[in-house]
Amino acid sequence: MRGRYSLGWAHCANKGQTFRPTGGGNFSQITIDSESGNSLDFHTIMVDLSNGLGALRGNVVQGDFDAALKSYQVVRERFTMMELACTACHDEPREYFVDSRVKGRLLRIGGFLRKGSQDVDLYTQELNNINEVSCMPCHQVHMPAAFLQQYWESSKN
Ligand code: HEC
Ligand code: HEC
């Protein structure tokens, strides 16, 4: 399976070390159960994360903290689900894009919300940071693989 991915290990921080994908995992086949018990596919988790983070900021701008807390809880839950998805392909998932640095950013947002902070810049800073240390670099590493998988799949039909 590995030979099919165009991204080389040169892109990886710990080149040649333990964080190699195992097995034949495929993003389009991953589903994870939410706390409420419904099963979501990886793409839905992504869309919920993106929408949830956008909604959270919008709620804060509007001063609607009840709604912001709800958005925050959705984001926390989806983030955990995303983290579980790593194990479909990696043995040691708790590094990089979902590690404690990233989760610390999320927890800080929770802290601002609980304090009722209306300083939108504070939230924006953490949101940008999450994007820079989690979403963007993970997309850079995995999106080509995901799209290649889709291509291989569609070319089979
Ligand atoms: C595993 C690493 C990984 C992380 C971390 C990650 N993503 Fe993704 N994301 C992917 C992959 C792979 C795809 C393409 C496959 C798919 O859409 O299911 C994707 C697709 C998406 C899409 C759909 C894009 C489209 O054009 O359909 C959105 C939106 C998205 N991610 C948002 C986010 C946000 C917001 C974050 C950060 C909070 C994030 N992702 C973190 C791997 C990741
Ligand atoms: C569907 C399978 C799949 C899933 C799910 C997946 N990965 Fe990957 N990941 C890969 C593949 C394949 C590569 C290698 C790409 C290459 O060879 O260039 C990779 C590469 C990586 C790398 C870079 C290699 C390195 O050693 O530095 C990191 C870091 C990484 N993944 C972390 C994660 C994390 C964190 C998650 C969960 C949020 C995740 N991956 C989910 C398949 C997956």
* 3-19 residue pLDDT tens: 223 233 333 443 333 34
Looking at the CA of 76, name the nearest ligand: 1
- Give a yes or no: residue 132 inside a domain: yes
Does the beta carbon of 98 sit less than 6 angstroms from any atom of ligand 2? yes
**What domain count does the chain have?**
1
In a domain, 1, yes or no: no
Contacts (Cβ under 8 Å, ≥6 apart) of 2: 21
Which amino acid makes up residue 96?
Y
5 inside domain: no
Q: What is the pTM of this model?
A: 0.86
Is the Cβ–Cβ distance between 59 and 68 less than 8 Å?
A: yes
Q: Does residue 10 sit within a domain?
A: no
CATH number for the domain harbouring residue 135: 1.20.120
The amino acid at 128: N
- Residue-number span of the structural domain to which 140 is assigned: 29-155
Q: In the structure, what pLDDT confidence band is assigned to residue 30 with cuts at 50, 70 and 90?
A: very high
Residue 67 structure tokens: 């709604």
Tell me the helix, strand and coil percentages in the chain, rounded to 5. Answer: 70, 5, 25
pLDDT tens digit sequence for 76-117: 999 999 999 998 888 775 668 988 889 999 999 999 999 999
Residue 2 resides in a domain? no
Is residue 58 included in any domain, yes or no?
Answer: yes
Residue 12 maps to a domain:
no
CA distances from 92 to 22, 29, 34, 40, 56 (A): 10, 20, 21, 22, 30
Terminal Cα distance for the chain, rounded: 19
Asked if the structure places residue 57 within a domain, the reply is yes
Which of 34-43, 46-55, 79-88 has the largest mean confidence?
Answer: 46-55
Task: Among the bound ligands, name the one nearest to the CA of residue 79.
Answer: 1
Lining ligand 1 with CB less than 6 A are 27, 42-43, 46-47, 49-50, 53, 82, 97, 130, 134-135, 138-139, 142-143, 146
128 pLDDT exceeds 80?
A: yes
